[in-house]
Amino acid sequence: MATVQPLKSSIDRQPEQLMLIDGERVRAGSGNTINVFDPSTGRLIGTVPDGAQADIERAVAAASRAFRSPEWSGLSGQARARILWRTADLMEQNIEELANLEALNSGMIVPMAQDMVQFSAELFRYFAGWCTKIYGLTAEIGAAPSQFHAYTLREPVGVCGFILPWNVPIPAACLKLAPALAAGCTAVIKPAEETPLTALRLGELMHEAGVPAGVINIVTGFGHTAGAALAANENVAKIAFTGSTEVGKLIVQAAAGNLKKVTLELGGKSPVVVFADCDLERAIAGVAGGVFTHAGQLCIAGSRLLVERKSFDQVVSGLAGAAKSLKIGGAFDPQTQVGPLISEKQLQRVTGLIQSGADQGAEVVTGGKRCGTGGYFVEPTVLANPRTDARVLKEEIFGPVITALPFDDIEEVTQEANRTEYGLAAAVWTRDLNKAHTMARRIQSGIVWINCQLMADPSLPLGGYKQSGWGRECGPEGLDAYLQSKAVIAMVS
């Protein structure tokens, strides 16, 4: 597998990156560091501070001061909107560097990384528009002879803690930062220890855009130290987390101390329903893109394929052909269509789950093996007809792996689509509008795509049913997550 050298970025200029606290670049109080690797090659590319509880406390104190400071709390909605808009402009002006960092650190192929930076910029523009549209209400209450003037205020919740995933670092950060800043909150960000680089660079750009010192603080570190300390800190009013359901449950427990508000975007095991009446060629291409993009490391990846029996063999065969045709390679190779997994640990987990599927009755139609020796690559894999109790049907794999099962009627496929503890995303492929919208109502999922997959927009809510999370990001609901309501009642007479 040929190695393509990454383009120059800030990590080349300064391999030792520093945290951002109260507007200053700082090392961890312990002086310890964490190594950062390139998943495409496995090579060390730099270090970041190993932040811990003392660093989190320092960052939260800075965010608390900034939240109370007139320099931030005294800004008008128009002023906050201008800062968010300038942030979007700066992201676009630095799109090459940000995309290179995302690709280098996460293994995301460069074209996708560029799309992610562009989407992130649009998040700031969308929420910039909401800065001037945070309204309260007036109400007539009471009865004669007394009169009251009553109204509501919508106010920022306060200091927010953001704990980010390693798979899509920059959009995950911006999904939280944009609405939080639009609402007037301040933030402490804990990036994933594997992928901290774009968050650190984003913090620099946001300061350049006019965000005052202390409004955004970035503490790098491990989840069980820095992340746990942030979730438990009693001066944090809200936690927003994207990651596994297992860790999400730990965050809920940690947040119980001061009953902080919690938004969770967690795991997925998304069903993809293919009816025989659909455009099968288009569906096969869509299903392949929906699970093999970013090597399957997307919580919304369509990993459970359910195909009407009369078309099952054709769809599985077509999907296997699509999987075999995909070019596997490093993030900076312009020919690459499927990049690496994030780490050796994740590679071992994915290949172990593939093997368990084969052991539990699944036919490995294609793929299933590790590729090369210099990075963390796994072949795009199609598993047909696993046992209904197989781990590959129940657990989130987070790799380029899809299972396929046949169905005979809409009742059967509804039951199978919902036979999971998750409910983040789903897709339906059919030409029959009645089937499409019937399934959209029946599937227990926060997103249902019809004849498409992996589509998102800042104006539409993103979040899950069941154990795929609490709350929503994006759209008006995404802003509401960072606001709280206050009733004011004044006696007039």
Asked whether 222 and 50 are in contact (CB, 8 A), the reply is yes
Known catalytic residue at 265: yes
The two beta strands, 363-366 and 401-407, are unpaired
Q: Is residue 9 predicted with pLDDT exceeding 70?
A: no
Report d(CA 309, CA 315) in Å as an integer: 10
Whether 365 has a pLDDT exceeding 70, the answer reads: yes
**CA torsion through residues 45, 46, 47, 48, sign:** negative
pLDDT of residue 12: 64
The per-residue pLDDT for range 266-296, each reduced to its tens digit, is 999 999 999 999 999 999 999 999 999 999 9
Query: Considering the entire predicted model, what is its pTM?
Result: 0.95
Q: pLDDT tens, 285-328?
A: 999 999 999 999 999 999 999 999 999 999 999 999 999 999 99
Mean pLDDT, residues 420-442 taken together? 98
pLDDT in tens, 190-200: 999 999 999 99
485 within domain boundaries: no
Catalytic residue among 122, 193, 194, 265: 265
Decide if 423 is inside a domain.
Answer: yes
H or E element at residue 276 = none
Assess contact for 240 and 129: CB atoms under 8 A: no
For residue 202, which of 69, 101, 119 has the smallest C-alpha distance?
Answer: 101
| Distance in angstroms (rounded) separating the CA atoms of residues 369 and 222 | 30
Q: What residues make up the domain containing 91?
A: 10-266
Mean pLDDT of 176-185: 98
Name the domain count of the chain. 2
Are 284 and 172 members of one domain?
Answer: no
Strands of 38-119, DSSP E: 44-49
Q: What gap in Å lies between CA 23 and CA 305, rounded to an integer? A: 48
Statement to judge: residues 94 and 189 lie in one domain: yes
pLDDT-based confidence at 234, cuts 50/70/90?
very high
- Residue pair 105/38 in contact (Cβ under 8 Å)? The answer is yes
Q: Are residues 159 and 280 in the same domain?
A: no
376 CB contacts (<8 Å, ≥6 apart)? 39, 42, 107, 340, 341, 342, 343, 344, 346, 347
- Catalytic residue, from 131, 160, 185, 299: name it: 299
Question: Are 261 and 342 within one domain?
Answer: no
490 inside domain? no
For residue 284, the model assigns a pLDDT of 98
Cis ω before 145 (30° cut-off from 0): yes
Confidence band of 142 (pLDDT split at 50, 70, 90): confident
pLDDT tens profile 51-88: 999 999 999 999 999 999 999 999 999 999 999 999 99
Residue that finishes a domain, picked among 230, 250, 266: 266
| 226/342 same-domain check | no
In sign, the C-alpha dihedral spanning 38, 43, 48, 50 is positive
Encoding tokens for residue 259?
Answer: 């009953």
Q: Are residues 252 and 297 in the same domain?
A: no
Domain boundary among 266, 284, 304: 266
For residues 368 and 449, state if they share a domain.
yes
Q: What is the pLDDT of residue 10?
A: 61
In a domain, 486, yes or no: no
Domain boundary among 251, 266, 281: 266
Task: State whether 256 and 381 are in the same domain.
Answer: no
| DSSP state string for 390-430 | -HHHHS---SSEEEEEEESSHHHHHHHHT-SS--SEEEEE-
Does residue 484 form part of some domain? no
The reply to whether 469 falls in a domain is no
Q: Residues 245, 286: one domain?
A: no
Angle between helices 77-93 and 110-128 (to 10 degrees): 170
Name the pLDDT band for 402 (thresholds 50, 70, 90). Answer: very high
Flag whether 301 is in a domain: yes
Q: Where are the alpha helices (DSSP H) in 107-168?
A: 110-128
> Is 278 designated active site?
no
Question: Which pLDDT score is estimated for 144?
Answer: 67
Query: What residue type is assigned to position 413 of the chain?
Result: V
Q: What does the mean pLDDT of the chain come to? A: 95
Looking at the structure, do residues 160 and 188 belong to the same domain, yes or no? Answer: yes
Asked if 342 and 238 sit in the same domain, the reply is no
Report the CATH number that the domain containing residue 105 is assigned in CATH: 3.40.605.10
* CA count, 13 A, side-chain hemisphere, 478: 28
Q: Specify the pLDDT at position 2.
A: 45
- Say what the pLDDT of residue 311 is: 98
CATH of the domain at 313: 3.40.309.10
Instruction: Answer yes or no: is 5 within a domain.
Output: no
343 and 328 both lie in a single domain? yes
Cβ proximity of 248 and 224 under 8 Å: no
